[in-house]
Structure 1
Amino acid sequence: MSSIRIARPRRFLLASAALTSLVTIDMPAALAQQLREPLPAVEVSAPQSRKQVKQAGRDAASARRAAARRAVVAPAASKPVVPNAAAPTPLNTNAVAESASRLGLTVRQTPATVEVISAETIREQGYRTVSDVAQGSVGVIAGDNPSEPSAFSMRGFTNSQINTLYNGIKIGPQNMTSRIMDTANLEAVEILKGPASLISGEGAAGGAINLVTKQPHTGPIRNEADFSWDSLNSFRTYYGSGGSTNVQGLDYRFDVSRSSLNGFADDTNTKTLDVSGQLNYRISDSLKVWGAIEYREDRSKAYWGAPLVPVAFSGSHATSGIVSGSYFNRTDLGAITIDDRTFSTNYNVLDNRNVAQEVWLRGGFELKLAPDLTLKSQAYAYGAERSWFNNEIEAFDSANNQVYRERFYVAHSQRLVGNITDLVWDANIAGFDNRMVTTLSSSYLDFVRPGAANFPNDLVSLVDPVRGFYGDLATRQQTARIDNEALSFEDRLKLTRTFSLIGGLRVEHIGLDRNSTDVNGLVNAGFPFTKDGAPVTGRIGYTWEAAPGLTFFSQYATGADVSANNIFLLSPTQPLDLTTARTYETGVKHVLWDNRAEWSFSAYDILRKNVYAAAGGQTLNIAGRQESKGLELAGSIRPIEPLKLWGNIAYVDARYADYDFAGGSFSGNTPPNVPRVVANAGASWRFFTPWPVEVGITGRHVGDRHNTDANTVTMNAYTVGDVYAFVDIPRMVFDTVDQARLTFRVRNFTDKRYAIWGDPFYPDQILLGAPRTYEISVAFKW
């Protein structure tokens, strides 16, 4: 593997900061004259239905304990300049997804499968966390294992094989840096399926999920506030405000949310706080500068799952339909079950804690250099402090019929700075409209990871365990310094009014400097060391609008990620193998019936080689290949004004191949947390009474999954549903409020008991889904 260095990041960051300061503070007179010219509009050519779609004005504005939290960084994505977006459609394919392309394309113009879940959908469906949003998406499942919360699975890939982005910026692999996040401050969640390294960098073998915070708009100030409470005594509060100020050209956005979500297990709770704000200042028609700041905090008393227990031991307390199969790790459990006496049992120690504090600073500018040339630059800084102090293992020991527990501690101190600069060129090449974006990005990560050097353990009873305390703690330290530079090109060439070629190429350099010390502070053998990698990834595809509103697409795309599980934990003897996944995908997107109906279909084939995977315990094996083939279908329709119907279904056949190791083979087995079938459906009816009332129901089916590569334990398929009703209260009741909505919701109304997630590195326990809960909420806009 060759090593490509584009620029040393600190020099690049200093240069980019100087550029930003020069443009925003000391504009030359000659350039100021040029700034009076307007910015060129970004073409968003939404398909035309039989009636021309109206353009709505967009608001302008031991092995695994270690593997629980680990880090690698990719650069940020600049937000595209899109002055106007087309009118909403049932599947929201007129939205622009910055995580899918830098070209400012709508979902329907992008040769890939992309979902954009808007804030309105999030509110209507009652999605409280990012994991809830993912659960309602096509073919995506999620789990909030405390070691790696907001974990996702889609198209046969899980955890760090899916990039999680924050406003287009990657801070590290999902299974190390993601946290439980409330949705209140989000404008949208974007989900890009399949290898996606062109936009989001290393780690996106399975796709990317981008969390977009609410943005300022130009116009009258609008305010909103929400409050909710549920039968577990959880509550959420939120306030947001945005609009134009008295200063010409200055728009703002401010949001603050607070939540306290109680778990169904004893003494479990997650508290979150999110404060975010942004200012946009249009100095002239050709120059806009902006700045944003965000503070996030979460504190949890964690639930780590219910232990697998022998059917023979549980007797009449054995359950069916949650898990099945047999299990051997510490001891041979034989046929296993979840004991109904453990549904709400918390085996964590009394002094447990999961805590994270995060701060974001972002700022940049958009500048027109010429009528067809635009420069955009964004600088960012991110800091995080995280810690885990828990009993993380709870394994039933059949030798003495007790639960073996083991403690674990780890902390992160993370600092990240970076810059991403785009040059957007609109041109006409031989009579064909063409847009090219050249992107240069760089980041520098400093990561300090104090961790446990000893792991206190004990045995407790299965029922009513004495929880006790953590005990003595000895620590050791690991560090990582990661340089990341990337140069990428993306282009869209319109060969005809309806047919476009879209492609791109990304050359990325990753430089790793690592050190590790023992409990006495002495450097371990082989440390410190330095390694480099240089993945080259890209995409080529087309879109063809065969008829108004009917778009066919195909693509070939590649993505790179670290084969040895995590770049931060590479040992001196491991190669820095940045393997490449590839996908072939084809599909169709269709909006019809004057925007009252929409459907999409895609078929894909993904191959990833040289895979390291968890072998059903605290070890890693080399799985030669991971193959994934599948189909996805989604649709939504409003046949008459009061009625809305929607649904989606995904089928995936994901398997390992050439996965052989001493003592056996997992070839042909399915990766953990990958169901063959995931389906969602919903319906609602609106009564147009003086106080309009809407009632709705949603359902979700998730097929069988396994918790390890061994595939000996099955988390059984489940189907759950929610029901809700809301009433829109007219303005005459609250004279100063434009909109008020009162909502009542029942989650999991059948009170289904089911397994929602299994961690392959903690295979002795299974996370259970929440039982039936009742929720009431009220929302205001004025």
Structure 2
Amino acid sequence: MATSASRLGLTVREVPATVEVISAETIREQGYRTVSDVAQGAVGVTAGDNPAEPSAFSMRGFTNSQINILYNGIKIGPQNMTSRIMDTANLEAVEFLKGPASLMSGEGASGGTVNFVTKQPHTGPVQNETFFSYDSLNSFRSYYGSGGSTNVQGLEYRFDVSRSSLNGFADDTGTKTLDVSSQLNYRVSDNLKLWGAIEYREDRSKAYWGVPLVPVAYSGSHATTGIVSGSYVSNYNGSNLGPVTIDDRTFNTNYNVLDNRNVAQEVWLRGGFELKLAPGLILKSQAYGYGAERTWFNNEVEAFNANSNLVDREHFYVAHSQRLVGNITDLTWDTNIAGFDNRLVTTFAASDLDFVRPGAANFPHDLVSLVDPVRGYYGLLTIQQQTARIDNEALSFEDRLKLTRSFALVGGLRVEHIGLDRNSTNVSGLEKAGFPFSKSWTPTTGRIGYTWEAVPGLTFFSQYATGADVSANNIFLLAPTQPLDLTTSRTYETGVKHLFWDNRAEWSFSAYDILRKNVYAAAGGMQLNIAGRQESKGVELAAAVRVTDAMRLWGNIAYVDARYADYDFAGGSFSGNTPPNVPRIVANAGASYRFFTPWPVELGVVERHVGDRYNTDANTVTLNAYTIADVYAFVDIPKSVFSAVEQTRLTFRVRNITDKRYAIWGDPFYPDQVLLGAPRTYEISAAFKW
């Protein structure tokens, strides 16, 4: 099941939408170290860990905060404000729900929803697991997890702790993470279950902000091909760079100041109950509290100046102090209507978010050389402060009516209230013009669709769904003088899901048409433009087959045509242009073969292709298409070798085996620079279960 796709307790095949669940087992086998790695393996999804907005995704033509990010089904705020680099070790699964999905996760889900699910307690004997890994960049990861039933009747536990230090390929860059999570489930009786969970996460980075676009004419013999192409006029300094390239002398260059830091600490508290009130009537409720402290203290702009042949740098500081409390309560009612099975879930959710954002009031600037720059220090910092408070209440209904054993109608409606209060003061503590201000919205969104299992294992589906989000979905960039209307979206989708050959093979297909209105788009200099409409049409195809007990094959391909419309402004128009970081084609393919020797060995290869993308709405610079491949081999050591260990696996993995140089992401807020993908690396790991 995917809880982010439906509250009805349906399987993925019973939901009238495209849903993909990447399990902990797949995460482990494919070597996904961070949630961005997981996204890269999903159908039609790309990701970039731009440090201003880490763990940002592109899906079905939409990016960043147009995609809701949930943690165990809870939204903590817009992605571009709250997401962090996250290790996968403590996760049970990552769920992808494609297309507008405000019925399930509220405002902000125009492109879809990504839900991170932490590992849960299970009933049965205690199971323990641990792993260690090390790679050629001197990165390491370690993890320990344990869970199962205790000696107390009805009490189950889960505890996980992971620690990682992932070094970057650029000089003096990398991220350290710590994640501790635990949960207790207590079955008081057959009718009542209580549970509580706590989690602490921490990440500390020396951030990599990418490399500047450079004139081909300046780089000369050091100009590269196949990474970027096109011509560019600097958004930062206005100089005309002409045709641009990535200078090969900058592949490993870090332009950040020496005293840079990018830090976050997060704490989760969750608890609730599940009560069977009567046959077919179940009440579930959970209360939660979340707190976060985040800090960015970096050089964030790296803009080549064609007039001086130096790199303009601009430093920026911002911090967050965030507090969130809320409750989600579900009442599930199974009944029979005129002979038809029916399930209705009524959900009430409420939350209160307080956000304090001290930020830079000055932006120290300097010039450094393109090659071997003097990194220097941040310099003088003056601070101003902004605050925001968002209260949210929602009442939703989701229903499934089975008209026959194989045909079901699935739909729902959500009525939501969103209240925003904002204030902004200068360095002297005086309120700025237009502040404070307040605004509220009451969007109504929903979904209606069907599923039809034409023959066992073959299910057709279609849906119409809507979504809404606060304009720009950035509570601190939206000015009081800008229109404060809701952005709305809708989708039409149809497809098929097929499981056959004794569950050895499966495939799925979907086609969709999404329209989003009153769109705000990111522009250089932390500005927002009104982009009118965004249209996205595409198809997705995925298949997997176990050819023999030893051989597996899998692959997927996604095509999307995403365009702006009514995107006009003084001096021009971007109508017809493609949004940033949206490739038309994304494809993955993989194969593995297992040798059933006394020590079983499996060999595998995974290939990924990402098409051309743009780094800004202007579409003048292309991040060129790339294809990369990873290979791996693991050996399972029999229990007879280590009698106290049930399972032992040693793995060797080569990432980006061809050492391809490519641009993985571009931040439209910082269009003078792009982020490069990691070069070839080698990794060894050992995992144990007992």
Counterpart in 2 of 1:245? 150
Counterpart in 1 of 2:518? 610
Counterpart in 1 of 2:629? 721
- Whether 2:230 is the aligned partner of 1:230: answer no
Whether the aligned pair in 2 keeps the contact of 1:633 and 1:650 (CA below 8 Å) is yes
- Whether 2:355 is the aligned partner of 1:447: answer yes
2:472 is paired with a residue of what secondary structure? coil
Higher relative contact order (CA 8 A, sep 6+): 1
Gaps of 5+ in 1: 1-95
Whether the aligned pair in 2 keeps the contact of 1:615 and 1:710 (CA below 8 Å) is no
CA distance in 1, matches of 2:197, 2:49: 28
CA distance in 2, matches of 1:666, 1:710: 6
CA distance in 2, matches of 1:305, 1:321: 17
2:641 is paired with a residue of what secondary structure? coil
Amino acid corresponding to residue 195 of structure 1 in structure 2: P
TM-score, with length taken from structure 2? 0.99
By how many angstroms is 1:618 displaced? Answer: 4.1
From 437, 460, 470, the counterpart of 1:529: 437
Whether the aligned pair in 2 keeps the contact of 1:272 and 1:297 (CA below 8 Å) is yes
2:208 is paired with a residue of what secondary structure? coil
- Whether 2:457 is the aligned partner of 1:552: answer no
| 1:31-46 correspondence runs (5 A) | none
1:564 is paired with a residue of what secondary structure? helix
Whether the aligned pair in 2 keeps the contact of 1:616 and 1:710 (CA below 8 Å) is no
CA distance in 2, matches of 1:660, 1:574: 16
- Whether 2:534 is the aligned partner of 1:629: answer no
Whether the aligned pair in 2 keeps the contact of 1:564 and 1:576 (CA below 8 Å) is no
CA distance in 2, matches of 1:432, 1:186: 38
From 674, 687, 711, the counterpart of 2:619: 711
- Whether 2:228 is the aligned partner of 1:326: answer no
Counterpart in 2 of 1:753? 661
- Whether 2:270 is the aligned partner of 1:362: answer yes
CA distance in 2, matches of 1:694, 1:251: 34
Counterpart in 2 of 1:669? 577
Counterpart in 1 of 2:502? 594
By how many angstroms is 1:411 displaced? Answer: 0.1
Distance 1:513 1:619, change over 3 A: closer
Whether the aligned pair in 2 keeps the contact of 1:442 and 1:485 (CA below 8 Å) is yes
By how many angstroms is 1:619 displaced? Answer: 2.9
By how many angstroms is 1:527 displaced? Answer: 1.3
- Whether 2:60 is the aligned partner of 1:152: answer no
By how many angstroms is 1:521 displaced? Answer: 0.7
CA distance in 1, matches of 2:526, 2:645: 56
Counterpart in 1 of 2:549? 641
CA distance in 1, matches of 2:218, 2:324: 50
TM-score, with length taken from structure 1? 0.87
CA distance in 2, matches of 1:575, 1:742: 57
From 661, 669, 673, the counterpart of 1:765: 673
1:567 is paired with a residue of what secondary structure? coil
CA distance in 2, matches of 1:165, 1:590: 28
1:444 is paired with a residue of what secondary structure? strand
Whether the aligned pair in 1 keeps the contact of 2:477 and 2:527 (CA below 8 Å) is no
1:628 is paired with a residue of what secondary structure? strand
**1:255-305 CA distance string (max 9 Å, x none):** 000000000000001000000000000000000000000000000000100
From 405, 408, 417, the counterpart of 2:325: 417
Distance 1:325 1:617, change over 3 A: farther
Whether the aligned pair in 2 keeps the contact of 1:510 and 1:532 (CA below 8 Å) is yes
**1:386-428 CA distance string (max 9 Å, x none):** 0000000000000000000000000000000000100000000
CA distance in 2, matches of 1:154, 1:748: 23
Amino acid corresponding to residue 580 of structure 1 in structure 2: T
CA distance in 2, matches of 1:537, 1:576: 18
Cα RMSD, aligned residues only: 0.7
1:316 is paired with a residue of what secondary structure? helix
CA distance in 2, matches of 1:716, 1:164: 28
**1:484-519 CA distance string (max 9 Å, x none):** 000000000000000000000000101111111001
CA distance in 1, matches of 2:34, 2:476: 28
By how many angstroms is 1:614 displaced? Answer: 2.4
From 288, 294, 300, the counterpart of 2:199: 294
1:303 is paired with a residue of what secondary structure? coil
CA distance in 2, matches of 1:259, 1:464: 29
Amino acid corresponding to residue 366 of structure 2 in structure 1: D
CA distance in 1, matches of 2:493, 2:82: 30
Deviating more after overlay: 423-432 vs 615-624: 615-624
2:244 is paired with a residue of what secondary structure? strand
From 613, 616, 619, the counterpart of 2:527: 619
Counterpart in 2 of 1:76? none
CA distance in 1, matches of 2:172, 2:451: 52
CA distance in 2, matches of 1:432, 1:249: 35
**1:734-757 CA distance string (max 9 Å, x none):** 000000000000000000000000
Percent identity of paired positions between Structure 1 and Structure 2: 84
By how many angstroms is 1:481 displaced? Answer: 1.2
CA distance in 1, matches of 2:390, 2:621: 38
By how many angstroms is 1:456 displaced? Answer: 0.1
**1:210-267 CA distance string (max 9 Å, x none):** 0000000000000000000000000000000000000000000000000000000000
By how many angstroms is 1:121 displaced? Answer: 0.2
More strand by percentage: 2
CA distance in 2, matches of 1:570, 1:616: 15
Counterpart in 2 of 1:102? 7
By how many angstroms is 1:575 displaced? Answer: 3.2
Counterpart in 1 of 2:301? 393
From 541, 566, 574, the counterpart of 1:658: 566
Corresponding pairs, count? 687
Amino acid corresponding to residue 570 of structure 2 in structure 1: A
2:632 is paired with a residue of what secondary structure? strand
Amino acid corresponding to residue 302 of structure 1 in structure 2: A
- Whether 2:31 is the aligned partner of 1:122: answer no
